[in-house]
Structure 1
């Protein structure tokens, strides 16, 4: 299988489209692969991707045993089968767990003793997108080095087609996953939970898992529907959070727990309908867990609140926090490198390590942890725990459109502009600049503690903007206006998906 050069514009329902692999190069992202199915990837392209992945597995010297599964999108099963054909041609032994959430595939790596994983999912992306989450070193997933090499192999058609592959369908695997999750004591008191699934794949598993834990469950948009009729299953999006809020207030629930399209993230709304961003949920969980586990080590992403370093309870408990690059692959790897107890991402990816989890991101493990926290605080509601945190004003994740080919250049230019302001003693949003961190994009902190982040999205043609202030809502808005003004000097930057 070879790719023509340069790659022509392939049109569906033609001979060329059905006989030529289509794989848009930009779909190979920092740690995931994401394409618009049909426009940027066809089934022959998925087969080529499988050949490329199989070739890379052999190149890395890893046992060629791989778990695969797929989410509920109408086209995911066909993409998975094409991927499997390519993997088998490259000599990979495939174990197929069928319809699944991503954490189920990660768990299967341990349960079925497979080194590798390739989960076909576009997570929370809009209908029409597809993708693959891959890894060859459990519980980690690929980072930029592996993704760059996979891209090289696949686009060059440099496949090692040694044959000898095999395929096995593993029946009823979800039951094994759920049994493992529930191999623990039930809650000591009944907690009323809204289980919000956004019509994504988690709807098949999350409500019954929470019920088996001992919760009284109110399902919300738990019917699987790949058209996502109400909103995308993304617990960072305000539409989903507002729906969770409304359901909590309507049913008098203790908490709403929202899951993204492939079930590896969890969003939280408290009993008063307050939408708690995931980084603040992480601070609450870190308080709870650091009171149980001495000298607890945590990892958080650069989009997250500054409270992890300043919260008096965490300081008193001796908790240590490491800020790291945003992205599930980066945080997962850092958690395992440091032996951290948990990693928290503002997006809602939570990585619970032993003895709580196995080091990968699992929305249900995170949901269980929130329920356990409530169970350990019988005299307090979630709103009480939220109000006990030091007050800060923070934004949701805001994402202006920016083409994949342009976004990294824009971030580099904004970073240079902010660094020049800092070195020149200039003020931003009316304040002096205290520090500039360029671990992942640019995070600028002002003298009053107000901060803002600009980075390139790792899985969509977008930028990412987050702001927070410990002073006031107005200061949060001030720094957003200042950062947006810098972005607006670049015509490549488009409209936001949501703003404050």
Structure 2
């Protein structure tokens, strides 16, 4: 502890040389007890408080065992900086964002490890109406490192927001004209009690799976974007004869759907179904992340919309959605953003998908099968020091800059696109890795694109 009475970085970093590694591109995340401690949380509260002196600040937390201690220390730091803390208790992240709007707060912090393993935790931070930037996160890190804080006498009060959040959600949708059976896999996360309750109020027959809050996540990994984590959900949907299955991540801002045949619906196709629905009465823009299948922009154009490609990451997609006034945004990770909300919400996405199914007059499986499917690889992750990753990307840019018939994008790493496929090579922002992803209209073309790109860089060729 330093002379100001707060924990200096050494106290909360465990003495590591990369103590600022918990600051990611869009949020803060790390291992509880080593990378993230109550000392760090207290210092973060002081840093956020210095950015929002005397302002009302909303604070929420997820169900992880470490969240209570981290949230208490965070609130202490905010109060010591003169902030008026509105403590929401345990809430899903979408309810936290709802509270920011409903309570008129200037900023807020959600204590959550999101989809990370149970031993991790983190902080999602809002310092105003726009998503936080990498520069703002870096400024908070500097404040903590330099103990550049302010002093004040703030307040803290508990605020109930979940009831208001549920009422707001249900007010945006009519009751379903026919009951659908929905299997809800809450993964023991923040939506464990809320999602079944809201869906029943909409008129659904709900089958609950892992709907007891437990931040140890004893039944499955909290990341629903990994299909292997949804095996039991898929089996339950088929066994129950349900219309649809839904799975949420630990804090509820991601959702993945399972059709009545027990198939996990790729988020690319979820974006397509939402886009068709939201564009049925007019034009609009749809923001999608750079890793999405080409099916997304093709189907958005076919529906009368304009696709907008953005780099992967919650803050990047949300910022572009807000800045452009888009009707929809989506990532392959299971984040769906809606212009009506100004952000993402896993439960809102669920309610909308149920209306999409009912209005179509057919099952989700039939809807999904109307979207084309091209051969595509998952992320191919290769160990690579950051300096070498940068050199590889520059080499690829030079190699394909004047190549006939292809387009180059450097939005995130390098994306090389042909009329019948594309390649994406990008450095990891959190690890010493370079990742590759390929798609083409045929398996043969996919293999050809992959071979062509890898052969164009000796650095890549050595690693594959």
Common fold, TM-score beyond 0.5? yes
Q: Is the 8 A contact 1:24 1:41 kept in 2?
A: no
| 2:111 match | 120
| 2:342 match | 359
| 1:298 match | 286
Provide the secondary structure at the position in 2 that maps to 1:392: coil
Q: Is the 8 A contact 1:22 1:40 kept in 2?
A: no
| 1:130 match | 121
TM-score by length of 2: 0.90
Unaligned stretches of 5+ residues in structure 2:
none
CA drift of 1:150 comes to: 0.8
| 1:40 match | 35
CA drift of 1:478 comes to: 5.8
| 1:152 match | 142
CA drift of 1:273 comes to: 2.1
| 1:54 match | 49
Among 356, 366, 369, the residue aligned to 2:352: 369
| 1:31 match | 26
The whole-number CA distance in structure 2 between the counterparts of 1:484 and 1:122 is 35
1:415 aligned to 2:393? yes
TM-score by length of 1: 0.84
| 2:229 match | 240
Q: Is the 8 A contact 1:468 1:476 kept in 2?
A: yes
Q: 1:483 to 1:216 in 2, by over 3 A?
A: farther
**RMSD of aligned alpha carbons:** 3.0
The whole-number CA distance in structure 2 between the counterparts of 1:305 and 1:454 is 15
- Aligned residues, how many? 460
Unaligned stretches of 5+ residues in structure 1:
12-16, 426-431, 495-500
| 1:497 match | none
| 1:315 match | 301
Q: 1:8 to 1:191 in 2, by over 3 A?
A: closer
The whole-number CA distance in structure 2 between the counterparts of 1:372 and 1:99 is 29
Q: 1:164 to 1:279 in 2, by over 3 A?
A: same
The whole-number CA distance in structure 2 between the counterparts of 1:203 and 1:480 is 42
Q: Any idea what the Cα deviations from partners look like across 1:369-396, whole Å, max 9, x if unmatched? A: 1111012112x11111111112322344
- Matches of residues 72-471 of structure 1 in structure 2 within 5 Å? 72-138=63-129, 140-161=130-151, 163-171=152-160, 173-183=161-171, 184-292=173-281, 294-311=282-299, 314-354=300-340, 358-378=341-361, 380-397=362-379, 406=385, 408-423=386-401, 425=403, 434-445=406-417, 447=418, 449-457=420-428, 464-471=435-442
Q: Any idea what the Cα deviations from partners look like across 1:317-354, whole Å, max 9, x if unmatched? A: 42111111211111111111111111111111111122
Q: Is the 8 A contact 2:301 2:307 kept in 1?
A: no
The whole-number CA distance in structure 2 between the counterparts of 1:486 and 1:419 is 10
| 1:14 match | none
The whole-number CA distance in structure 1 between the counterparts of 2:150 and 2:462 is 40
Provide the secondary structure at the position in 1 that maps to 2:258: strand
CA drift of 1:276 comes to: 1.8
The whole-number CA distance in structure 2 between the counterparts of 1:245 and 1:208 is 21
The whole-number CA distance in structure 2 between the counterparts of 1:400 and 1:338 is 35
